[in-house]
Structure 1
Amino acid sequence: MAPRKEKTEKVSGDAAADTILTYLRKQNRPYSATDVSANLHNKVTKAAAAKILKDLHEKKEIEGRASGKQIVYHCVQSVDDAVTPEHLAEIDNTISTLRAETTTATASAKTLRASLASLNTTLSTSDLRSSIAKLEAEREDYETRLGALRGGQIRPVKKEEKEKADSEWKVWKGIAGRRTNIVKEMWKTVEEVGQGMSAEEKAELRERLGLDE
């Protein structure tokens, strides 16, 4: 035996009018009296729906227009909800601008990544740090020896030894100078390709590369 269909409780009067008006506002699309009655599962009969829709239209609470042999109704559209052509044009311009900025930012990021990859290939950070550590050790050694000389704790340095020390110092001084120039040129390149980077991002990158050590 087939199950019985549950009967829909019918509404009438003001309750029926409120039900139809709420439905039209919620759906926000045009319906005929037949559609409204059917979509409400006959909660409001077709005849009652036709009368209520006509009354609401006459009260200007809804809009109505002829569509073939029937009239379709829809809720009143607020002027504030309408989008003007000027507003649409403004939205299109904003979208175009954002797309252009995104394309530029993507290209800059790609260039920066390529430049950093090239720098990492041609200039090893570990080698730079090793050279710096060696220079620091040499400097400390010279300072220790100089302190001993000033304190008269060791014998006077021979001319040959002094000339050798001066020569070595010039060599390491030249290496340190070249290293400084390399760091400056590398950072100049990084700043050129990373113009969109913030100061914080630049500081973090400089620290990661060990350029201030």
Structure 2
Amino acid sequence: MSKSKESAANQAVLVYMIKQNRPYSVQDVFQNMGKDLGKTACTKAMESLAAEGKLKEKVYGKQKVYVADQSQYPAVDDTEIKAMDEKIAQLNDQIKLHSDGIRTLESELHLFSGVLSTAAARDELSNIYPEIEKLKAKLAKLKEGRVLISKEEKDKVYNNREKYVKEWRKRKRIASDIFNSILEGYPKTKKQLFEDIGVETDEDCNVKVPDK
């Protein structure tokens, strides 16, 4: 780093530390100053300023903390300190009051977040009302005893049912024959066989082939 850049970095860090007037590590200054200088430049600047006596250095284990030389600040008497403490207490009370208010508002917002807006509710109603009218019309037809399905559709449903039940019985019989053949040379029970190969029967599922 050139002398001019080093001098500029020292000045920037010094101005910042005097303005803040609080203890900071190199990492704190590096982060708080927007990382414009780079960590190496911050380290060199703070070490140089400490060597010149413009910053005071305190070592806590492996951590170094720097603070502006306090002799450059005007003395503060006890009355001022007391007034500052009172002001801090007042501000803390205000912070607590505002924080409580924020929590209350956040709770209310949470309650309303799951509620439909007026516009959304109107859209929902516009979809529901036609459906209600359709259901009313269907109910009226049922009350009148009107036929809602043709004979052809009804016959088709019954024929399909008969076909599928017949196929169900056929496959159940084939499976039963296969298992009986296996059991002739199987040393355990039928239940144990089903458990070993992971078979679930109709009875296990509480279903049975319709009688008709």
- Structure-1-length-normalised TM-score: 0.33
* Higher RCO, Cα 8 Å, sep 6+: 1
- Structure-2-length-normalised TM-score: 0.33
